[in-house]
Chain A
Amino acid sequence: MLEIVLLGLNHKTAPVEIRECLAVSKDETAAMLGAIKEPDSINEVVLFSTCNRVEILMVASDKTKAVETAKKQLSAFKNVPLSKFEQSIYVYEGDEAVRHIFRVASSLDSMMIGEPQILGQIKEAYLMATKRKTSGVILNRLLHRTFFVAKRVRTETGIGSSAVSISYAAIELARKIFGLLEDKKVLLIGAGEMAELAVEHLIRNKVKEIFIANRTFKNGVELARRFGGNVISFEEITDFIKQVDIIISSTGSSDIIITKKQVKQIMPGRKNRPLFFIDIAVPRDIDPEINKLNNTYVYDIDDLNGVIDENIEDRNKEAIKGERIIDEAVINFKKWYDSLDVVPTIVELRNKIDSIVSAEVEKTMQSIKLSESDREALSRMKNALINKIVHNPILLLKRDGCHGSNSIYIDVVRKLFKLDD
């Protein structure tokens, strides 16, 4: 009987120094798939590698041998001695392997639970395996189930719903204050990676206009060109607070740039339309007291981190629901997998044909009058018919039975005769 076996290592078991040595590129994946697959022992392989993990999923008749081969190939391809990474490797078999691949694809095993990239990476790896023809009946089915389960986990739980990065958290807040951001204006004071990332997200949300103020005017001009915004001088900030809605500040200034008094004077002129300050600078640029004014909201870097922590906690809670969906999917997959066994398939095939023929014979016998001996003859004919119909299919199924590579025939027979209802 064939078995599903998975071996791999991830951010939990291997430090980054090992992971970076073993990361498999696209071309290497293609070559490795061919090298691992062996006609007699390893029937199917799918391999994928991200910056946080390497996973090799196999269907093999001899699982210990398969694991050894995979380890050896990984070591050979990446030119890293096996002893260096062997203790980081985990091996899962059967249901546990199925569960693991479901969890990985659903992003429950990720460093950041709910991150969306992993599913795409697995899809890509699967595409590669189908192109290299290293994936067969079992892994095809398993991977399709995996994509389905991952999608279900994503839509039915909230694991991916709340922001877990500073810039996203800021945008999410802006949406909770303003609703649509389409008619909103943004002022960026200073520069910095996180602030610029936030501005990029805002642009994606189609904000109306972006103003940029920088102490070094030249830098401001450059940023303005990048974002398609307008440059203003540092002295003009107060004037522009009157018309913008979102202010992102990230300067190296050691003093506060915008004071409570300033904002208080501006608010009546804005007819109290809300103002949202995102203060990413350390030390802070925006007087935190501004948060106490009506219709103004100030979030500094710690506040945003607080939001993220809260969201991560939510994701962890949602992950429990995800595990439940996966438990269910593992059981369902096992049901299908077990059906690939030869004996039950033969029994079911016989029963199916029997039921069809018997039903038709019964129907005919009801409408015509027959003597007892005629009935017996008909019944004998019925049994002979059934035996002859199933004879060749059963021979075919049994032929490779002991080698275990007949899963494709079993699958076809089950589909042809619709045995899986």
Chain B
Amino acid sequence: MNDLIIVTSLLYVLSAVGYILFLFLQKQYYHRLGHIFLAVGFFCNSIVIGYHYAKVGQVPVRNLHETLIVTGWAIAGVYFAFHYKFKIKILGGYAALIAALSIVASILASGNFVESQPIFNSVWLIMHVVSIFIGHSSFALACGVGLLYIAQENAIKNKKHGFFYKRLPSLDLLDSTGYACIITGFTLLTIGLITGFVYAKTVWGRFWSWDPKEVWSGIVWLLYAAILHGRLTVGWRGRKAAIMAIIGFAVVLFTFFGVNFLLKGHHGVFTR
């Protein structure tokens, strides 16, 4: 199975190369290549996860190694979903790069397994993990779209068109894609938190235990809630929304990695 992980990482790297060549040379051929590599990579990634699942009988997020494999898978999957709807070709490079980094990092990180326990075998836990990962991946894409928005807006505002202007789609499309990413991410994060609470209640008898990860997830949730609220009421759109999406994802990253390395808590073991 380790070989298949290496194959997956190679496919993601090739995909990123294809997308990046497309960015510079603007030949459809390279984009298609990137797309195919990403799709095949996603398929291999799914098999890896399926294999782990079948072997241990639970969602394979027992250590940083496994967590990163699921991260790469979620990013690629979420990218395909959003590409289907919005077709921002240039975003492929961003998604493929993150997916490739995740899988390569997962190969380098080999932590200790948490022993499989009966408490891990819960439908709530599966839902919790899956929603959180897909939600976070959506936030990652929102951040990427935000970066593209800022590049494109700078080109238009400063009247120096240069490299990005031609290659990027309209501000409107970038803005609405970012919005859709955040709505998706927020919805799944909410589901992830609720199922997490329910799971905590069934296992530890309480919904909330002030675990640092919980606290930071709460902060992330509030932050994105504020972003959505601002958009609906006072019209936080465009550049402001793009900057928020980037800041939001920075906090997500901290919640995902920072908390585990710097603070302690019952999530810690999974991501070390």
Contacts and interface: CB of A to CB of B under 8 A. Distances in A.
Interface of A: 162, 173, 175-180, 268, 270-274, 291, 294-295, 297, 299, 303, 306-307, 310
B31 to A, nearest CB: 16
Nearest to B172: A179
Contacts of B159: 299, 303, 306-307
Given A177-B170, A268-B235, A310-B161, A294 B156 contact: no
Contact of A176 (B171, B234, B236, B240): B171
Residue among A173, A270, A274 with most chain B CB within 10 A: A274
Contact of A294 (B152, B169, B170, B240): B240
A295 B239 contact: yes
A307 B161 CA distance: 7
Interface residues of B, number: 19
Which 6 A/B pairs are nearest by Cβ-Cβ distance? A271-B235, A179-B170, A272-B235, A179-B172, A295-B238, A179-B173
Prevailing SS type, chain B contact patch: helix
Interface string B217-242: 00000000000000000111111100
- Which of B169, B172, B237 has most chain A Cβ within 10 Å? B172
Nearest to A306: B159
B55 interface: no
Interface in B138-189: 152, 156-157, 159, 161, 165-166, 169-173
A415 B155 CA distance: 56
Contacts of B152: 176
A177 B239 CA distance: 12
Given A173-B156, A176-B156, A273 B161 contact: no
Given A173-B156, A176-B152, A310-B161, 6 more contacts: A175-B170, A179-B171, A291-B157, A295-B238, A299-B159, A307-B159
Contact of A295 (B166, B169, B237): B237
A206 to B, nearest CB: 16
29 contacts: A162-B166, A176-B152, A176-B156, A176-B165, A176-B170, A176-B171, A177-B156, A179-B169, A179-B173, A180-B172, A268-B234, A268-B235, A270-B235, A272-B234, A272-B235, A272-B236, A272-B238, A272-B240, A273-B235, A291-B157, A294-B238, A294-B239, A295-B237, A295-B238, A295-B239, A297-B156, A297-B157, A299-B159, A307-B161
Nearest to B235: A271
A273 B176 CA distance: 12
A271 B170 contact: no
Given A291-B157, A303-B159, A177 B171 contact: yes
Contacts of A268: 234-235
Interface in B87-122: none
Contacts of B240: 272, 294
Contacts of B235: 268, 270-273
A270 B238 CA distance: 13
Contacts of A173: 156
A177 B170 CA distance: 5
A162 B171 CA distance: 18
